[in-house]
Structure 1
């Protein structure tokens, strides 16, 4: 007697990962990171939710994979700041961040950012990267050294975002032709000011 075909959600198979990524990209682009649940993505892909955790781990990791960002900026930022004094943090931060963009994954990084900036839904993805991979990493790494860390981290994020847009998307000179060390030496002191200047008058 022939066995009956199994019904229900699919188990893992060679193209399961790509199907999950496709569903995630569609939903993230249409509704943004915060509004889409792992269960919703699994339903769209027609797979069991456990397979998302199997292939990608967390929702953050799935998002990073879905936008094909080859480097996690949070990891690089934490490495630049962790275990060091606050003095000179701005230069270290800018050197690490610029090195990501000037590195071997330059083209993929630019393509991902252009995609996020050109699609309204994916703009929320850009917000997620800056909020959860940059701002939160700065807060977690420097929170025991500075006050008003969330406010300061947001100030730093404005500098990073401006650098990405002006140097790598708009490619404005002479900023585009500056070396990573020149960027760090020039922009670093501004970042240091954001991290150390008195901000009590801005407290809400």
Structure 2
């Protein structure tokens, strides 16, 4: 992804610091103003480094944008990779905890991604984001397959909708409009989101409703 042109005259320690400052500044600038409206000069100015460092580390603004998305989502992708290991039992709670911690540390992520995939104004940015999302969705498919192979899936469920159900349960609270988040008590803070992860895990294991069996229900009606 990265094309190195020339070599800046800084120490390795300074270079590593510059790269980190660029990632941090790019997250803020892209989420506040969008991919198209932010120049590399503005990002570099916000990061306090020379604009040439963007080309050195990332090749272009698009390369920087891709690095921001990939590095932000890296913990979730790594957890998926662990969970699809044939020697490891998939862990929904750990995956949700990893995802929610990532969101708590990067609450700007929805603002960064949603406009790109909903408006599709910039094909380059759209291709970067959808490529990364497709990678995650492919991993999620393998994750569900691992559950099916280990006989952990409720046989009464339609397998075609399993990923949709899990992804909706985990992701909707993060992507919901601010008004709905407020009405539903969702805060993009670690303690709130980890509590939600525990709730989701219980919901997955035990279901939402406690129905009486038909015989018990009939018995109760005659008492």
Normalised by the length of structure 1, the TM-score is: 0.47
Higher relative contact order (CA 8 A, sep 6+): 1
Bigger radius of gyration among the two: 2
Normalised by the length of structure 2, the TM-score is: 0.44
